[in-house]
């Protein structure tokens, strides 16, 4: 319960921003759906809908920016900070907020500068082009305000003032001239961002601060260019699918359709050894076809499956590990938000990536099933085998949720709809079904909109913040250094695949999954293609590799999500998930061997696939 006026005020401001984001997401959905209906019913689209949708997505990210810095969506790495003594933790918090303030000031001041300089109007909408940058400038300013407000409440006014002064100092230092010009100023950006990440600064703002600090050392991105790259990074129509898939998953969960999938899964495998754990795996596989978000699935599993596993006799850490382990499938089995991010970063075909995701899922699911079977000991967990009638009944009950996945994947794969249109149809489908079944009311829809808007803004901000960093890496020709590293022991497909996976396994320990895809995929894909590897297969393996890091310290986002909901210590979950990690690494090895052998296979065999 809130006690202090400052806490009530901050909660009020956060709630207003959250509901404004929900309103923008609702409007965004209405516009895209209107364009889809007009296109398929009347054979003509709305010429203004795509551009307006992109502008609304920019507004959504701008509104959610302050929440992405001050809430659980902030992507802070605090594992190492927790090892420090009390005084060290307080100092780290001040420094982390200072770096976040620096990154937010780059957006606020740089955005205002670009908005004042840019001219012209949108050809389609007739609106001033400066509005997008003004929205980001406003979001950056609000971020500084909420960061300091939160710091004052959590620590002290003096600590908040210290973060402000240090942040201003870093900002002014980034505008200065040192006379030094490094051949690869991106190293300064990487070092600064890495330090910020290790002391607990929000990842997107650490990336922005790092790029800004590379300026005095020869960095090619002045502040206006950083903002322009950031805004351009989120101004892609394909990225609209991310908030829609998140919203569809929220509606499925809130409307009870995900629980129907669990009942159907239980009828299929509940009688196996470790039946409830295998049920969690099958349910996660089915839920993957509708959500596309591993975090959403992990949250659902932590609330529904983990308590049921504990009640059946599983140790709490093992129950949490099972939920976290099987949740990684959602970003592999289509539709997948990770594949959308990869396609946006590399221009690979989304449809082809989705097909590759099915192939990867066909390897990962049996591997997890084997891992669960071998690792569960001392738990008597088998249910009576369901009859054919019981299976049929549970299947009919799960059809609404299964149908969502079919609509999305089939529509994309056969080119009936675009990815963004398919994601909007997924929301419409989930909304209509849940309301028709009376499993969700309008208040529940509002809560789903608010939750999805916050998550989508956090993901969008990460994508935007990664854009100037990726540009700096490209200017410094880091891809050539990466190629030299990956091909150090030979340029053949097996050697490149092995070393690329080692690089990814190390990078994934310290980078968020989305950031790793955005930063590393453009660098490593040309190397893979030069070695003769299929780009789609390599892209799928890259995502699988990085998704495994959702279960590894120090980041391990899936473990932390489940740990936070179940109240099981993260360290205990990390230990309990080791058998599943071994199974996933074995499956990754199988996928890598297949991809490396692919170039040498006869054309007649390739045609079979």
Contact of 253 with 435, CB cutoff 8 Å: no
User: Is this structure's pTM higher than 0.85?
Assistant: no
Residue 510: the pLDDT is 67
More confident residue, 300 or 465: 465
Confidence of residue 2 (pLDDT cuts 50, 70, 90): very low
Between the CA atoms of 330, 332, 337 and 339, what dihedral angle is there, to the nearest 10 degrees? 180
**For residue 229, is pLDDT > 50?**
yes
Contact of 7 with 154, CB cutoff 8 Å: no
Distance between CA atoms of residues 58 and 467, nearest Å: 14
* Token output for 607: 């045609």
**For residue 521, is pLDDT > 70?**
yes
Residue 373: the pLDDT is 84
Kindly report which listed range (148-162, 432-446, 472-486) carries the lowest average pLDDT score.
472-486
- Conformational region of residue 4, where left means phi above 0, alpha means psi within -120 to 50, and beta covers everything else: beta
Mean pLDDT of 157-174: 94
Distance between CA atoms of residues 55 and 236, nearest Å: 10
More confident residue, 143 or 81: 143
Confidence of residue 163 (pLDDT cuts 50, 70, 90): very high
SS3 567: coil
- In the predicted model, what is the mean pLDDT of the chain? 84
Contact of 372 with 431, CB cutoff 8 Å: no
Residue 490: the pLDDT is 66
Distance between CA atoms of residues 172 and 197, nearest Å: 21
Give how far Cα 107 sits from Cα of 224, 448, 512, Å.
Answer: 9, 28, 21
* Token output for 385: 């085998």
Residue with tokens 């097909």: 355
* Token output for 357: 């995701």
Distance between CA atoms of residues 108 and 526, nearest Å: 35
**Helix segments in 347-418, DSSP class H:** 350-375, 388-413
Mean pLDDT of 402-409: 74
What would the pLDDT profile of 332-364 be if each residue is shown by its tens digit? Answer: 887 778 888 888 888 888 878 888 888 899 999
Burial, 158: exposed, middle or buried (Cβ in 10 Å; 0-12, 13-18, 19+)? exposed
Dihedral angle sign, alpha carbons of residues 473, 476, 477, 481: negative
Mean pLDDT of 365-390: 80
CA 21 to chain centre: 18
Burial, 609: exposed, middle or buried (Cβ in 10 Å; 0-12, 13-18, 19+)? exposed
What would the pLDDT profile of 61-118 be if each residue is shown by its tens digit? Answer: 999 999 888 876 677 777 678 788 888 899 999 999 999 999 999 999 999 999 988 8
Distance between CA atoms of residues 364 and 356, nearest Å: 12
* Token output for 493: 């497909």
Residue 230: the pLDDT is 92
pLDDT > 90: percent of the chain: 24
Kindly report which listed range (7-11, 136-140, 491-495, 577-581) carries the lowest average pLDDT score.
491-495
Residue 489: the pLDDT is 64
What would the pLDDT profile of 257-286 be if each residue is shown by its tens digit? Answer: 777 877 888 788 777 777 788 888 888 787
Confidence of residue 290 (pLDDT cuts 50, 70, 90): low
Distance between CA atoms of residues 242 and 235, nearest Å: 13
**For residue 586, is pLDDT > 60?**
yes
* Token output for 407: 């609509």
Please count the residues of the chain. 609
DSSP 8-state secondary structure symbol assigned to residue 81: G
More confident residue, 13 or 386: 13
- Conformational region of residue 181, where left means phi above 0, alpha means psi within -120 to 50, and beta covers everything else: beta
Distance between CA atoms of residues 357 and 292, nearest Å: 11
* Token output for 304: 């529904």
CB atoms within 10 A of CB 307: 14
* Token output for 118: 């840019």
Distance between CA atoms of residues 181 and 136, nearest Å: 30
- Helix 419-436 with 5-42: angle, nearest 10 deg: 110
Contact of 137 with 111, CB cutoff 8 Å: yes
Residue 1: the pLDDT is 45
Residue 365's closest CA among 245, 499, 290, 269? Answer: 269
Residues 6+ apart with CB under 8 A from 263: 394, 397, 398
pLDDT > 70: percent of the chain: 91
Report the greatest alpha carbon distance in the chain. 78
Dihedral angle sign, alpha carbons of residues 410, 413, 417, 422: positive
Burial, 602: exposed, middle or buried (Cβ in 10 Å; 0-12, 13-18, 19+)? exposed
**For residue 381, is pLDDT > 80?**
no
Kindly report which listed range (165-169, 360-364, 508-512, 515-519) carries the lowest average pLDDT score.
508-512
* Bridge partners of residue 128, in order along the sequence: 121
Distance between CA atoms of residues 281 and 369, nearest Å: 7
* Token output for 462: 């990460």
Contact of 271 with 384, CB cutoff 8 Å: yes
Q: Which residues of 394-423 are buried (b: 16+ CB within 10 A; e: fewer)?
A: beebbebbbbbbebbbebbbeeebbbbbbb
Burial, 120: exposed, middle or buried (Cβ in 10 Å; 0-12, 13-18, 19+)? exposed
Dihedral angle sign, alpha carbons of residues 83, 86, 90, 91: negative
SS3 121: strand
* Token output for 296: 């959403």
Mean pLDDT of 574-586: 90
Confidence of residue 292 (pLDDT cuts 50, 70, 90): low
Mean pLDDT of 298-323: 82
* Cα angle for residues 362, 306, 573 (degrees, 5° grid): 80
CA 294 to chain centre: 8
Mean pLDDT of 195-202: 87
Residue 419's closest CA among 309, 336, 533? Answer: 336
Q: How many CA atoms lie within 13 A of 187 on its CB side?
A: 6
**For residue 598, is pLDDT > 70?**
yes
Residue 142: the pLDDT is 95
């Amino acid at each position: 319960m809130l006690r202090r006026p400052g806490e009530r005020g901050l909660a009020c401001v956060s709630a207003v921003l959250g509901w404004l984001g929900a309103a923008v997401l609702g409007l965004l959905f209405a516009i895209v759906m209107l364009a889809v209906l007009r296109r398929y019913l009347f054979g003509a689209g709305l010429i203004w809908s795509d551009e307006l949708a992109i502008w609304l997505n920019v507004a959504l990210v701008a509104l959610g920016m302050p929440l992405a810095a001050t809430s659980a969506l902030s992507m802070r790495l605090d594992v190492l900070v927790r090892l420090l003594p009390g005084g060290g933790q307080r100092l780290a918090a001040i420094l982390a907020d200072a770096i976040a303030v620096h990154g937010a000031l780059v957006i606020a001041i740089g955005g205002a500068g670009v908005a004042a300089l840019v001219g012209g109007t949108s050809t389609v909408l007739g609106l001033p082009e400066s509005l997008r940058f003004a929205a980001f400038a406003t979001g950056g300013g609000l971020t500084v305000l909420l960061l300091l407000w939160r710091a004052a409440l959590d620590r002290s006014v003096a600590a908040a003032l210290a973060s402000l002064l240090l942040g201003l100092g870093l900002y002014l230092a980034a505008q200065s001239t040192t006379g030094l010009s490094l051949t690869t100023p991106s190293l300064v950006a990487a070092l600064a961002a890495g330090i910020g990440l290790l002391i607990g600064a929000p990842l997107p703002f650490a990336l922005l601060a790092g790029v800004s600090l590379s300026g005095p050392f020869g960095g090619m991105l002045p502040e206006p260019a950083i903002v322009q790259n950031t805004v351009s990074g989120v101004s892609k129509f394909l990225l609209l699918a991310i908030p829609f898939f998140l919203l569809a998953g929220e509606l499925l969960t809130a409307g009870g359709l995900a629980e129907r999938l669990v009942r159907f899964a239980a009828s299929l495998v509940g009688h196996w050894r470790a039946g409830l754990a295998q049920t969690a795996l099958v349910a996660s596989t089915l839920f993957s076809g509708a959500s596309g978000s591993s975090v959403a699935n992990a949250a659902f599993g932590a609330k529904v499956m983990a308590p049921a596993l504990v009640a059946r006799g599983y140790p709490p850490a093992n129950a949490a590990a099972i939920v976290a382990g099987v949740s990684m499938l959602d970003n592999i089995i289509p539709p997948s938000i990770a594949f959308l991010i990869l396609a946006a970063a590399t221009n690979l075909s989304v449809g082809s990536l989705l097909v590759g995701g099915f192939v990867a899922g066909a390897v990962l699911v049996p591997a997890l099933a084997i891992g669960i079977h071998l690792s569960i000991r001392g738990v008597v967990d088998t249910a009576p085998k369901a009859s054919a009638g019981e299976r049929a009944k549970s299947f009919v009950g799960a059809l609404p949720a299964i149908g969502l996945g079919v609509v999305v994947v089939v529509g994309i794969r056969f080119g009936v709809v675009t990815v963004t249109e398919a994601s909007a149809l997924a929301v419409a489908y989930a909304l209509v079904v849940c309301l028709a079944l009376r499993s969700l009311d309008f208040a529940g829809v509002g809560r789903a909109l608010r939750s999805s808007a916050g998550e989508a803004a956090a993901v969008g901000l990460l994508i935007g913040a990664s854009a100037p960093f990726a540009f700096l890496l490209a200017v410094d020709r880091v891809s050539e250094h990466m190629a030299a590293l990956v091909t150090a022991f030979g340029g053949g497909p097996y050697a490149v695949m092995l070393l690329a996976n080692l690089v990814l396994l190390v990078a994934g320990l310290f980078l968020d999954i989305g950031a790793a895809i955005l930063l590393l995929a453009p660098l490593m894909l040309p190397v893979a293609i030069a070695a003769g590897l299929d780009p789609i297969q390599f892209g799928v393996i890259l995502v699988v590799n990085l998704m495994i890091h959702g279960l590894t310290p120090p980041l391990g986002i899936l473990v932390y999500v489940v740990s936070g909901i179940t109240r099981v210590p993260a360290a205990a979950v990390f230990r309990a998930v080791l058998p599943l990690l071994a199974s996933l690494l074995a499956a990754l090895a199988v996928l890598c061997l297949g991809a490396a052998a692919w170039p040498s296979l006869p054309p007649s065999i390739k045609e079979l696939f």
